[in-house]
Amino acid sequence: MRDETLVPAREGSPFLRESAGRFRNRRVRVPDEINLKNCGLLDDRAAAVHRATLAAFDPHDVLTYPILGPLQGLLADRFGVDADSLVLTAGSDPGLNLLTRAFPEVSRIVLHQPNFDGWAKFAAISGCVLDPVAPDPATGLFDLRDLARRLHAGAPAFVVVTTPHSFTGQVHGREELAELAEAVAEHGSLLVVDTAYLAFTEGGEESVRGLTGLRHVVRVNTFSKSYGLSGARIAVTLAHPATARHLFDLDPEGPVSALAVALLRRSLEEQAVFTGIWADVRRLRERFAAEVERTVPGWRARPSGGNFVTWDVPDATAAGAASRYLLDRGVVVRDLSGAPGLPAAVRIAVANEAVVRRVVAALGDWHRGEAA
């Protein structure tokens, strides 16, 4: 290895950069630990589908580039679009990154805050500026009309909506989404709808079906949450065919692996299994929210359309203490305290009956210890 101390880098070089390493992947797997922070689909039925796919997978399929046609057909049917509207990517991050780089004339990303951390990365890469819009200070809720007002105050922009919202679970209805889409079209901007958690919302697909494929709308949907494919890294961007072709001009199709394609294809073929899982998550989510409220006085669950519940808690100290207590007992959750509209809050994913009982019992023990 070359000793860089012998050849010092030239002062003023544009390649000399420092980073805090914030986005470095430092995940580790701890035995018996349950990760309810990242909201993956922790269900044995999903794992069984994937186990069958892996058992039947032909290793010869990794010797050549994957064939996407059959999967594209299933996705087109699933989302009610033409296959020419589909852009497959290795997770939603590459799709969003590609989208923001595809329109270099656009310098602004209008979005609610808090939001997915990746938007800061995409803005830096594409040269955009984040134009954040806070929730209502009185209610902590997001209003799409606030996004429209902010949009009209400046130049054309990417306008980002996440439904359900990834921090709070708030769901936006069909009419308010349509109104925002119309405002975005009139402004000459592009609406980006992130639907990572929409499968867990009753009737969620109907709220966005009228938008998908419009010239001024792009939908990004990861399969990490809904089909339990976080480790496979596969997502789809649904756009007007002309927009999709423009994206292909920058990044020719084929960035997903044959294994990811096989896993998603089998999952779509086993749709009944996942539809049942989603229904169970919705049922368990409401019970989980109510049981924690009964067990820990002062905790208030927000209505959620995701596979998680976010509770507003009396203060940030309590949120931190409860999160640490759970971590010490092998349960990882997310303390959201300090985010805009969330002065003191905890988000916990919905896994299964046994995990819900474990979390509720642990929070009860924590509360009794605090009260003693």
Q: Dmax over Cα atoms in the chain, in whole Å?
A: 66
Which residues, in sequence order, are bridge partners of residue 131?
A: 110
User: DSSP of 263-323, one letter per residue?
Assistant: HHHHHHHTHHHHHHHHHHHHHHHHHHHHHHHHHSTT-EEPP-SSSEEEEE-S-HHHHHHHH
CB 222 within 8 Å of CB 235: yes
Write down the CATH number for the domain with range 47-270.
3.40.640.10
- Return the closest-CA partner of residue 225 out of 261, 286, 278, 157: 278
Stretches in the chain below the pLDDT threshold 50: 1
Backbone φ and ψ for 236, nearest 5 degrees, come out as -135, 140
Answer whether 275's CB lies under 8 Å from 295's CB. Answer: no
| pLDDT attached to residue 29 | 73
Domain extents in the chain: 34-42+271-364, 47-270
By CB atoms closer than 10 A (0-12, 13-18, 19+), residue 203 is exposed
Q: What is the pLDDT of residue 2?
A: 52
CB 181 within 8 A of CB 155: no
Residue 105, pLDDT score: 95
- Assign domain 34-42+271-364 to a CATH class: alpha beta
- pLDDT the model gives residue 236: 98
Kind and range of the H or E element at 78?
helix 69-79
pLDDT tens digits, 18-54:
766 666 666 677 778 999 999 999 999 999 999 999 9
Q: Model pTM?
A: 0.92
pLDDT score of 152? 97
